[in-house]
C-alpha cells in the first residue's frame, strides 16, 4: 500500500477546518527517516517549522512520540498536524521534463544531466531535475536522487525508482565500492600521468547562503586520483577518480593544486574564464564549466551484477578540445 499525500499540506484558501492527517506507511516509504519523510510531503514548509513540530511532539507514529532520527516501518501510522503555508508556495509547480536516458529498468533511472540544470530545488532554485521528473512521471510511485551533481556539472545522474535500490546504492557509495569517473579540462602545465590528491575539505555557508568549500586542516578527509588524458601547451584534459564524495571535491582539489577547472565560476581563474567566453586565433569558445561525469560502475541493486555506464563528452566541450589542435601528449 502506498501513502496518499495529495492533501497533506492545505493552502490557506482551503483551510477552513484543518485537521491532522493520518498516513499509513507503505513499502516504498519504509526505512526512511521521519524528518526526511516530512520534508518531502510538506512542500513549501520551512525546514525549521518541520523540525519544530517534531520536537514539540505534534508528529506521532503509532500514537507515540518519536525523535527526528526515527526510521519508518511499513504499516506505521504517522500523525501529521495541520500545517499552514503561504498560498504562493502551494501553487509553485515544476514543469514536467524528461532528460537523455542512459539506463532504465524497474529499479533505476540513469540520465545524462545537462550543465546548468540543478538536480533539486533549493538555495534560490525553484525546482531541479528530480522535481521535473516527478512532474513528467506522475504515475511513478518513487523517484529519489541517489547522489548529486553540481548545477554546472554535466553527466551521469542516478535516480532510484524503489527505496530498496536507494538504500542499496547508498550503502555501496558509503562503503566505497562504486567507481565514479569525471573528465575535467584545466589550466596549467600538468606533468604527472597519475597523481593522488589528498587534501581535507571544510564546507561552510557564506552570509548570503552560498555553499563554499576550502582546504583546511581538520576538515573531512578527501581523496581524488587524477589521470592525464591529453595535454596542450596551456591546458590539460584529466580523468578524475573519486575515492571519497565530498561537496565540490574535484573543483577544490584542482584549484588548490594550481590547476583550476576551465569555466569554474566559483573556484576557477575568473580572468581566464572571461577570456574563454570568446574564441581567438588559437582556440574556440567555452561558455560552461568543463567538468563532466563520464562513467560510473556499481553493482545493480537487484541483480547483483556489475554495471558500467558511460555518458559521452558534451558537444560544446568536445568542440573546444578539437579547437585546441593536436595535443602534446
Write out the DSSP string of 181-216.
Answer: EEEEEEES----SEEEEE--EEEEE-TTS-EEEEE-
**How many residues belong to the chain?**
329
Q: Which three cell numbers stand for residue 81?
A: 498536524
Return the half-sphere exposure (C-beta side, CA atoms, 13 A cut-off) of residue 262. Answer: 25
Give me the residue label for grid cell 590539460.
Answer: 236
Relative orientation angle of helices 47-56 and 34-41, to the nearest 10 degrees: 130
Beta bridge partners of 310: 295
**Which residue is catalytic, options 76, 112, 150, 264?**
150
Tell me whether residue 150 is one of the annotated catalytic residues: yes
Count of CB atoms within 10 A of residue 137's CB? 14
CA 6 to centroid of chain Cα atoms? 25
Catalytic residues: 150
Amino acid at each position: 500500500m502506498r501513502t496518499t499525500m495529495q492533501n497533506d499540506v492545505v493552502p490557506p484558501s482551503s483551510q477552513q477546518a484543518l485537521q491532522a492527517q493520518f498516513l499509513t506507511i507503505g513499502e516504498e516509504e519504509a526505512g526512511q527517516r521521519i524528518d526526511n519523510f516530512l520534508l518531502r510531503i510538506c512542500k513549501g514548509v520551512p525546514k525549521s517549522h518541520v523540525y519544530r513540530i517534531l520536537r514539540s511532539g505534534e508528529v506521532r507514529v503509532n500514537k507515540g512520540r518519536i525523535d527526528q532520527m526515527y526510521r519508518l516501518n511499513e504499516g506505521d501510522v504517522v500523525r501529521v498536524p495541520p500545517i499552514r503555508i503561504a498560498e504562493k508556495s502551494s501553487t509553485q509547480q515544476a514543469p514536467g521534463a524528461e532528460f537523455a536516458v542512459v539506463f532504465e529498468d524497474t529499479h533505476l533511472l540513469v540520465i545524462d544531466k545537462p550543465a546548468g540544470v540543478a538536480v533539486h530545488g533549493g538555495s534560490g532554485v525553484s525546482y531541479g531535475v528530480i522535481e521535473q521528473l516527478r512532474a513528467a512521471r506522475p504515475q511513478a510511485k518513487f523517484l529519489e536522487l541517489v547522489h548529486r551533481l553540481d548545477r554546472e556539472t554535466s553527466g551521469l545522474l542516478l535516480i532510484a525508482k524503489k527505496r530498496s535500490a536507494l538504500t542499496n546504492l547508498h550503502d555501496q557509495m558509503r562503503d566505497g565500492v562504486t567507481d565514479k569517473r569525471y573528465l575535467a579540462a584545466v589550466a596549467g602545465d600538468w606533468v604527472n600521468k597519475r597523481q593522488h590528491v589528498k587534501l581535507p575539505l571544510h564546507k561552510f555557508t557564506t552570509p548570503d547562503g552560498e555553499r563554499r568549500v576550502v582546504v583546511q586542516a581538520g576538515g573531512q578527509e578527501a581523496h581524488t586520483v587524477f589521470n592525464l588524458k591529453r595535454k596542450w601547451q596551456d591546458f590539460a584534459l584529466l580523468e578524475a577518480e573519486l575515492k571519497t564524495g565530498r561537496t565540490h571535491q574535484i573543483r577544490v582539489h584542482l584549484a588548490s593544486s594550481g590547476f583550476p577547472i576551465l569555466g569554474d565560476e566559483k573556484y576557477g581563474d575568473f580572468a581566464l574564464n572571461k577570456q574563454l567566453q570568446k574564441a581567438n586565433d588559437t582556440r574556440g569558445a567555452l561558455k560552461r564549466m568543463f567538468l563532466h561525469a563520464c562513467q560510473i560502475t556499481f553493482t545493480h541493486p537487484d541483480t547483483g551484477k556489475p554495471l558500467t555506464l558511460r555518458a559521452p563528452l558534451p558537444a560544446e566541450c568536445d568542440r573546444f578540445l578539437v579547437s585546441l589542435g593536436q595535443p602534446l601528449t
